[in-house]
Copies of this chain bind each other. A is one copy, B any other.
Amino acid sequence: MESLDRRHVRAPRVTAAMVAARAGVSTATVSLVANGKTQGRVSDDNISRVRTAISELGYVVDSIGSSLARGVSSIVILVTPDVSNPFFANVIAGVRESLGAEYQLLLSVTDAGESPQASDVRKLLALRPAGLLVGAPSAGFLEDLSAAAPLVLLDAPGLESFAPSVNLDVAQGARELARHLASSGHTRAAYVDGITGTATFQLRREAFLEEAASLGLVVSQEHIIRTAIDVGAAAAAFAAAWPGWQREGVTAVVCGTDTHAYGMLQEARVEGVRIPEELAVAGFDDLPYSATSNPSLTSVHLPATPLGRKAGEQLRGLMEGRELSEPHVTLESSLVVRGSTVSS
């Protein structure tokens, strides 16, 4: 109990004024030393007195005061509609890696895959972020943002005009997938899309459908369904759709994400549908679990960690005022064929 109460007793904050007093200098000098801007501006003697005082007192520059004075904080905001997808965890890891310790990563998550609103944007900007990383945005959303802070887009195909971007070439993998299914003898397929109108989902779907059509793999309109990115929701959607698919000769289903595909696999097992014999299943993302699912899942591999890492690097360049040598980067995707489309 005693220790519980301690949290009400805030330790007094160590300020630059306290350091200055101890070192016998002005706060201006403390600021210069604390920020490493001493070059030709502070005497060696003062540098060392201030450093000593800083470590004796345990002084850390207050970010709030600093941000107000500078006009910008050290916060980088990652805006994304989709935390629940494990793909995301790897993107975060990549961002953290390249951003380093100077910047703090703030997560802005919108509800249930919704696109963020203008009012959300204002609140975010009120934090005076050093930079913004925006995943899978809509064009309208970007209008306001691009003027406000250094900005890098992740997975935002078609929006290159707004800001530097790191994209995934999902179309390439989608076409590979269509060829794989067509050459495996399928002639009728279904498609399970996400419910967010995210550009990457559209691209995945369109590239697949186009290549499929050119190969005589038919995906009729009523065999394109949509569900949230959620194993359970996808499973329920499969249960509802399967009788029709079966009756109408669908022998393959492509899912916008592996998570959707897991739902297919799960429900197919419940209903005794044999995969891949009766139905071939494939997804996008190639999540770590796709290698161990039952059956293992054919998927278009997307490099999540490199995506985050590269976006972080680019943003860092912008924040530090560097010119980006390559403002738009595209990372490759490729098909990984596994048991869910090929019987072993």
Chain A residues proximal to chain B, CB less than 8 Å: 3-4, 6-7, 9-11, 58, 60-65, 67-68, 73, 75, 83-86, 88-90, 92-93, 96, 101, 104-109, 122-128, 146-151, 161-164, 231, 259, 262, 265-266, 269, 287-289, 291-296, 318, 327
Q: Chain A at the B interface: mostly helix, strand, loop or mixed?
A: mixed
A295-B293 in contact (CB<8A): no
- Alpha-carbon distance between A304 and B105 when the two chains are bound, in angstroms: 22
**Are A6's CB and B146's CB within 8 A?**
yes
CA distance A231 to B293 in the complex (A): 13
Is there contact, CB below 8 Å, between A64 and B60? no
Across the interface, name the chain B residue whose C-beta is closest to A118. Answer: B58
B-side contacts of A3, CB under 8 Å: 146, 161-162
Residues of B contacting A4 with CB < 8 Å? 161, 163-164, 327
Shortest CB-to-CB span from A96 to chain B, Å, is: 5
A7 and B122 CA atoms in complex are apart in Å by: 16
Given contacts A84-B93, A104-B127, A107-B107, contact A266 B294 (CB under 8 A): no
With A60-B125, A289-B289, A289-B293 already in contact, 8 other A-B pairs whose C-beta atoms are closer than 8 Å: A7-B146, A10-B147, A58-B122, A64-B64, A84-B93, A104-B123, A293-B294, A294-B295
Residues of B within 8 A of A146 (CB): 3, 6-7
Q: Which residue of B lies closest to A328 (CB)?
A: B4
Q: Contact: A96 with B109, CB < 8 Å?
A: yes
Alpha-carbon distance between A126 and B86 when the two chains are bound, in angstroms: 30
Q: How far is the CA of A170 from the CA of B145 in the complex (A)?
A: 44
Given contacts A288-B231, A288-B262, contact A106 B109 (CB under 8 A): no
Contact A7 B147 (CB under 8 A): yes
* Alpha-carbon distance A88/B96, docked complex (angstroms): 16
Report the separation of the CA atoms of residues A275 and B10 in the bound assembly, to the nearest whole angstrom. Answer: 55
* Contact among B9, B92, B296 for A83, CB-based, below 8 A: B92
A149 to B86, CA, bound (A): 30
- Residues on the B chain within 8 Å of A162, using CB: 3
Residue in contact with A294 in the complex, picked from B231, B292, B318, CB distance below 8 Å: B292
Q: How far is the CA of A244 from the CA of B237 in the complex (A)?
A: 45
A68 CB contact (under 8 Å) in B64, B96, B109: B64
A32 CB to closest chain B CB (Å) equals 18
A64 contact from B73, B108, B289, B292, Cβ within 8 A: B73
Which B-chain residue is minimally distant from A120 (CB atoms)? B101
The residue on B at minimum CB distance from A161 is: B3
**A-B pairs, 6 with minimum CB distance:** A294-B294, A289-B289, A86-B86, A60-B122, A106-B106, A262-B292
B92 touches A107 (CB 8 A): yes
Tell me which of B86, B109, B128, B149 contacts A63 (CB under 8 A). B128
Docked complex Cα distance between A281 and B291 (Å): 16
Chain B residue nearest to A259 (CB atoms) is: B288
Find the residue from A84, A96, A126, A151 having the highest chain B CB count within 10 A. A126
